[in-house]
Structure 1
Amino acid sequence: MRLVINEPPIPQSRPRFDSRNKRAYEKANIKAYKQRVGYIARKEFKQPIERDTPLEINMKFYMTIPQYLSKVKKNRLALEKEIRYVTKKPDLDNLLKAILDGLNGIAYFDDGQVVKLKVEKVYSFNPRTEIEILALEEE
């Protein structure tokens, strides 16, 4: 199953704590992002993949290009082909966590089913996230 989230990727932030209620909470922007990811996934998945099915997920994050890179002519070709890797923040694991949490309970029962990952982040003029979810056969 393939999904495309057509908006710039947002990393999972650290939980914030409310000192009055002694509770952890998420920032509004990451909560809304996860909900949009879930909404897009619901269009593709009528029900979650079975609970005991091991999953492989291939994910590619296409990040917004900073101005300092896009203005340099020699970078243009690599940026257009979307082959220039992002070596700056946000961290790959935080981007991944936001997507896995957003798909939890919709594409699969629990992200513990994910046994194999391939994740990349590259610069693009069209920021988005492409996700491929594959059910693995047990031998």
Structure 2
Amino acid sequence: MAAGHARVYTPADTVNYENWVRLCYRQEHPGVMLAGPVSMVVAAYFAVPKSYSKKKAALCASGALKPTCKPDMDNIVKAVADALNGVAYRDDSCIVSLSVHKLYGDAERLEIVLQGEEAPR
């Protein structure tokens, strides 16, 4: 606290990640803003660790084994929701339904599905 005021600090890596999410959304959905209630599905895919045996890697590929590595699901969602504030929807308080999944995949990626009514232009 400085002079009785709390400071909010967002790490540079988080700011960069949020900017990347924002850029990707704008490229995929130029000018699209949702109005009213929004449903969000987030799927975060992680690479299978090279140290895993073939058997363990096969379990990852089949979905039987899920990643328990960082980042935490709540941190992933917070970054995505904050990044899309004012871009995909008015405010993240509009998110009324949320589903989050951490999975193994061939390539590390983040898939985001938003459902809601498109705001009038």
Identity across matched positions, percent: 31
Q: In the alignment, what sits opposite 1:41?
A: 25
Cα distance in 2 for residues equivalent to 1:78 and 1:106: 38
> Counterpart amino acid of 2:22?
G
Return the match for 1:32 from 12, 16, 29: 16
Structure 2: gaps (5+ residues): none
TM-score by length of 1: 0.71
Q: In the alignment, what sits opposite 1:122?
A: 103
| Alignment coverage as a number of residue pairs | 115
Write out the 4+ residue segments of structure 1 that deviate beyond 4 Å after TM superposition: none
Q: How does 1:75-90 map to 2 (within 5 A)?
A: 75-81=56-62, 84-90=65-71
Q: 1:83 to 1:103 in 2, by over 3 A?
A: farther
Instruction: Tell me, yes or no, if structure 1 residue 63 matches structure 2 residue 46.
Output: yes
1:37-57 alpha-carbon deviations (Å, 9 max, x no partner): 11111121404212xx11111
Q: 1:37 to 1:83 in 2, by over 3 A?
A: farther
Q: 1:46 to 1:82 in 2, by over 3 A?
A: farther
Residue 25 of structure 1 deviates from its aligned partner by 2.0
> Counterpart amino acid of 2:34?
I
TM-score by length of 2: 0.80
Residue 81 of structure 1 deviates from its aligned partner by 4.4
Q: In the alignment, what sits opposite 1:91?
A: 72
Structure 1: gaps (5+ residues): 1-16
